[in-house]
Chains A and B, each alone.
Chain A
Amino acid sequence: MAKKRTIRTIPQQRTPAREQDPQIRRTNFEEVALGYDDAEALLESQRCLLCPEPGCIAGCPVGIDIPGFIARIGEGDVRGAYDVLARANLLPAVCGRVCPQENQCEGVCLVGESLEPVAIGRLERFVGDRAIAEGFARRPYIEPNRFRIGIVGSGPAGMACAADMARAGCAVTVFEAFHLPGGVLRYGIPDFRLPNRVIDAEIAALQRLGVVFECNTLVGRLFTIEQMIDELGFHAVFVGTGAGYPTMLGIPGDQLNGVLSANELLTRCNLMRARDFPNVDTPLPLGRRVAVVGAGNTAMDAMRVCLRLGAEQVTCVYRRSPAECPARAEEVHHAEQEGVEFHWLTAPVAVLGDFGGGVRGLRCQRMMLGEPDSSGRARPVPVPDSEHELDVDLVVFAIGTNANPIIGQTSGLALNKRGYIAVDDDLATSIAGVYAGGDIVTGAATVIEAMGAGRHAARSMKAYLGLSDPSALRVPGDPSASLFGLTPDQRNFVRLRVA
């Protein structure tokens, strides 16, 4: 570097990211943000001060060496940048697109104190996309051992744990309830924010490491967690089943046809491809005028999907103010550009039905912010005499999720008060050899935190199996009882027997 960069010498403006025009994109499911090209990435990389004591690393939930990878981009060494990123983050192309950067790395970037912070997320995505396109992630040499690892759930937590255990030489099988792997990345986040090809590429990378995906397998119903250890020959198990058990609001009319959870809408549209109905069998609940209750990422996704499916009007109903809105700033901005109407400080009171069991409106009341509640956010309280009706024919609830109960119902795993799986500091559960992480432990959180938890659990598992300290190696048991090496018929027999 010729001259030391200072806040005055760096490009003052953030390099803009090219986007699809809002009027065009609200009619298609193509990706909205188009990503940096080489020149744009190079320019933006020069805005990083490469601080000796950076804020950004501490702001990153998995501690990526951010100035390290940005410096490599500046040197034109994208592969080197990927190597730095990949040390901490297995899914840079995903996280660059979906992390709430403004609350993490970019929120504490030192440039951000006087200018717009460095666009760390966009740079991460640039490197992640290049890595996929050029196949940077080469298969490392793996010394196989005889350990077998079972992973339940193929979301970011399960994927991360699978990758680390496969790299350590274990035979890893991921069991997924749905017919396609990816978790929320697949069924929840729509294509226009995270294209399927990115998820497919990450899954394929895991398969190259030797990870086997067993889809259409609902653990707990086909076999239990205990049976995975006792009968199916897994030496350790990771549970990453996510938090998806949607909360319904419990207001009059919430049982009407025409009221559904954002998860149902998104699953039908994304995973089940219902927007191709009748060429696919799953139908979509279409609304002409839609109200979406909630203002998190899930709500933003639901609203933008409804627009793309042809809704004339989409309204966001949220009982707090924009300052409390939990969605990524970029998604709110994109939703506004696409024409979503925001009704802040508004709470639904009742869904109004028509005679056929459908919806004809949503009764709401205005709110104002009162004293802070236990979460530290101002508690919304109703404004007297402020009831009014919105003329809508579809109501979507995106107001949060609870722990999925299946694993809890069918295993002896200890749960906490809210129904999530209880773990210690090593993410170990109450059953020896069984670890858990991601949303099923923390409640709904973020992709990066789930991924971090998967890796954390992998470290603990390796210690448990003695892989990080070979003198403590546990001798693998008899592998004959395992699912491996069996024909599909034999395997089904095993499943039936243990179910």
Chain B
Amino acid sequence: MFWEDRFRAVCDEVILCTDDGSAGMKGFVSDGVERAIAAHPDIDEVVAIGPLIMMKACAEATRPHRIHTTVSLNPIMVDGTGMCGGCRVKLGDTVKFACVDGPDFDGHLVDFEDLMVRLRRYANEEKVATERWSETCRMRTLAATAP
């Protein structure tokens, strides 16, 4: 765990969550969000940034309470200037380009299923590229020949 002290220094309350309970509470981030909501009924906004599945769970946790929830999306981008539409995400009935219209959106409108499928677009190519990278990675030879 790093920077816990820094978080504590600037937050009124910090709820740590770990999958195995090795630090903070045992549970997912969404469980932590539930706990916070239970303790503070007056929460106005939840901001969730991280893996898609976590942001989705947080949005689901806040939906019944109608707490505005901001999520930060990370679709595959090409140019990041609004020129290609590769980063488009579905928001209710509309389509937005995350790089110029986002990346922060209302988590209760985001179609997470759609985004998950889109994120897998190049799964095979990513594997090929990683393999190629490991084969050609010079760090290994450097490490092997290091004095």
Contacts and interface: CB of A to CB of B under 8 A. Distances in A.
Contacts of B88: 248, 255
B84 A246 contact: yes
Contacts of A278: 125, 128-129, 132
B90 interface: yes
A283 B129 contact: yes
B78 A264 contact: yes
B18 interface: no
Contacts of A446: none
A267 B79 contact: yes
A178 interface: yes
A227 interface: no
B85 A246 contact: yes
A25 to B, nearest CB: 26
Contact of A261 (B80, B81, B84, B132): B84
A404 B84 contact: no
B121 interface: yes
Contacts of B140: none
A59 interface: no
Contacts of A357: 117-118, 120-121
A248 to B, nearest CB: 6
Interface string B2-46: 000000000000000000000000000000000000000000000
A54 interface: no
Nearest to B93: A250
Given A255-B114, A281-B129, A260 B81 contact: no
Interface residues of B, number: 26
A278 B133 CA distance: 9
B95 interface: yes
B122 A404 contact: no
Interface string A326-370: 000000000000000000000000000000010000000000000
A406 B114 contact: no
B100 A409 contact: yes
A30 B83 CA distance: 26
Nearest to A177: B81
A277 interface: yes
A283 B125 contact: yes
Given A244-B82, A405-B82, A257 B100 contact: no
B125 A277 contact: yes
B27 to A, nearest CB: 31
Contacts of A285: 121
A33 interface: no
Nearest to B119: A257
A245 B85 CA distance: 7
Interface string A240-264: 0010111010100011010011011
Interface string B94-113: 01010011000000000000
Given A278-B129, A283-B125, A409-B100, A257 B120 contact: yes
Contact of B78 (A248, A268, A405): A268
A263 B83 CA distance: 7
Contacts of A177: 79, 81
A486 B104 CA distance: 35
A178 B78 CA distance: 11
A332 B118 CA distance: 33
A187 B78 CA distance: 12
A283 B127 CA distance: 11
13 contacts: A187-B79, A245-B83, A245-B85, A248-B88, A255-B95, A255-B114, A260-B84, A267-B79, A277-B128, A277-B129, A405-B82, A405-B100, A406-B100
Counting from the closest, the 6 A-B pairs by CB-CB distance are: A283-B125, A264-B84, A357-B117, A244-B83, A261-B85, A257-B121
Interface of A: 177-178, 187, 218, 242, 244-246, 248, 250, 254-255, 257, 260-261, 263-264, 267-268, 272, 277-278, 281-283, 285, 357, 404-406, 409
Interface of B: 78-86, 88, 90, 95, 97, 100-101, 114, 117-118, 120-122, 125-126, 128-129, 132
